Amino acid sequence: MSSTKNSRIGEEIWKTRVDKVNAELVTLTYGTIVAQLCQDYDSNYHDVNKQLDKMGYNIGMRLIEDFLAKSGVGRCVNFRETADMIAKVGFKIFLNVTPTVTNWTSDNTQFSLIFEDNPLADFVELPDDGRAQDELWFSNILCGVLRGSLEMVQMQIEAHFVSDVLRGDDTTEMRVSLVRYIEDEMPPEEE
């Protein structure tokens, strides 16, 4: 498949076409956003998760144009290719990581992204208040980013974290489900 091709595309764009900044500035900026939300929402982590997702959605709707402009890639022929593109090109050029795509359902509409590294959570420890580790999804903004950007290319999806090393889990895993293709922008049928 085009899988190794996407890896090459991602690497190439990251190396030659992406303006860089100090990673710590990005990490700390995200940290101060989350901390501010925790303060504004009085440590109601469910609301914080929701707000992070919403912010990510806003970002995704904009970020997709940057992704398309930088990558020049065309429409994916199916959801499996979309997943591969997200992991190897999308995450690569915006966060310099390549999560693993795995745990597909048999109908090819749901998969997991497993994050070996997550720059947003570098040097983060959740508040030791007996609740944050059970309720807060620190990197929840990423779910919104996927939702927003895919919606702009006519895919309605649902995304949520199922585990996070910050919570003491052994992996950081996001589950992504295709809800439907929007309107007549259906990609050509498979096969």
Partner 1 sequence: MPSNPRGVFSLIIINKAGGLIYQREFQSGLRNLSTNDYLVLAGTFHGVHAITRSITPKIPIAQPAPSTTSTGTAAPAASGYSYPNPGVPVSGLDYLETDKFRLTCFQTLTGTKFLLFTDPLTGGVDAIIQRIYELYADYVMKNPFYQIEMPVRCEAFDRHLGAWLRGRT
Partner 2 sequence: MAAPHRHATMQSMSNGGISSGSDRPQQHSQLSQQSPGLRVPSNRKTIYDRHLNRTRTAELSRASFAFLFGEMVTYAQRRVTGIQDLEKRLNEQGYPLGLRLLDLLFYRSTSTSSSALSSSSTSSSPPNRPLRIITLLHLIHGPLWRLLFGRAADALEHSVSPDTPNEYMITDNDPMVNTYVSAPRDMSMLNCAAYVAGIIEGVCDGCGFETKVSAHNQPTELWPSRTVFLVRFGDPVMEREKVLERAGVK
For residue 1, the partner it binds in partner 2, partner 1, none, with Cβ less than 5 to 8 A by kind, is none
Residue ranges in contact with partner 1 by CB under 8 A: 61-66, 68-70, 72, 74-75, 77, 152-153, 187-188
Q: Which positions from 109 to 148 touch partner 2 by CB under 8 A, shown as an x/- string?
A: ----------x--xxxxxxx-x--x---------------
Q: Which of 1, 15, 16, 22 binds partner 2 (CB under 8 A)?
A: 22
* Structure token pair of residue 30: 């995200």
* Structure token pair of residue 116: 């070996």
The answer to whether residue 162 forms part of the interface with partner 2 (CB under 8 A) is: no
Could you tell me if 45 and 38 are in contact, meaning their C-beta atoms sit under 8 angstroms apart? yes
CA distance 19 to 122: 21
| Shortest reach from residue 72's CB to partner 1, in Å | 7
The answer to whether residue 73 forms part of the interface with partner 2 (CB under 8 A) is: no
The answer to whether residue 100 forms part of the interface with partner 2 (CB under 8 A) is: no
Closer CB to partner 2, residue 36 or residue 105?
A: 36
Q: Which residues have CB under 8 Å from 79's CB, separation 6+? A: 108, 109, 155, 178
Long-range contacts formed by 123-126: CB under 8 A, 24+ apart: 123/27, 124/31, 124/166, 125/166, 126/166, 126/167
Residue the block writes with tokens 């702009």: 152
Closer CB to partner 2, residue 125 or residue 190?
A: 125
